[in-house]
């Protein structure tokens, strides 16, 4: 029987695990700020006045990439498929925002936020792959012992 532990080629370091949880939390916090004005970061609105109108594209793209990519890294997937994932999410963002008006209004700014989230997620995964994981220790099995 194959277990999850058998499929894990790498294990994350403590800092990597903490930054991963921080990235997840930050993106969820940003999405929640779209509806709850009390938790919005005012300096983001000062710098980018329409930030909270487009933040969902940024966060959803980044979350998709870092959740899938993090699991892939632990399973031993190389850097090229990780970057291909980020590129695919970027292209889908642009196509959806410009050419598929289903439950959506065409908005190039949304596409750019999705591209930015994809780039940020891809860069995060490159750092995790390069510096945040180490090879998993070999899985040892113990024989069942019966006493008579």
From the list 26, 53, 46, the residue with the least C-alpha distance to 113 is: 53
Name the 3-class secondary structure at 11. strand
Q: What is the pLDDT along the chain (148 residues), one digit of tens a residue?
A: 666 667 899 999 999 999 999 999 999 999 999 889 888 888 887 888 888 989 999 999 999 999 999 999 999 999 999 999 999 999 999 999 999 878 778 889 999 999 999 999 999 999 999 999 999 998 776 655 555 5
Position 84 scores a pLDDT of 97
Task: Please count the CA atoms within 13 angstroms of the CA of 5 that sit on its side-chain side.
Answer: 6
Position 40 scores a pLDDT of 85
Position 49 scores a pLDDT of 84
pTM: 0.86
Q: What are the CA-CA distances from residue 115 to residues 59, 102, 110, 135, 144 (Å)? A: 10, 20, 9, 31, 53
């Amino acid at each position: 029987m194959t277990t999850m532990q058998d499929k894990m080629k790498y294990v994350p370091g403590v800092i990597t695990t903490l930054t991963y949880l921080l990235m997840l939390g930050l993106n969820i916090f940003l999405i929640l700020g779209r509806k709850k004005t009390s938790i919005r970061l005012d300096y983001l609105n000062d710098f980018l006045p329409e930030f909270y109108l487009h933040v969902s594209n940024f966060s959803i793209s980044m979350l998709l990439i870092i959740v899938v990519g993090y699991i892939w890294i632990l399973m031993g997937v190389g850097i090229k498929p990780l970057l291909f994932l980020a590129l695919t999410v970027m292209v889908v963002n642009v196509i959806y925002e410009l050419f598929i008006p289903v439950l959506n209004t065409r908005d190039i700014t949304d596409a750019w936020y999705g591209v930015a989230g994809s780039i940020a997620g891809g860069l995060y995964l490159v750092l995790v792959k390069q510096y945040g994981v180490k090879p998993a220790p070999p899985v040892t099995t113990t024989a069942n012992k019966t006493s008579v």
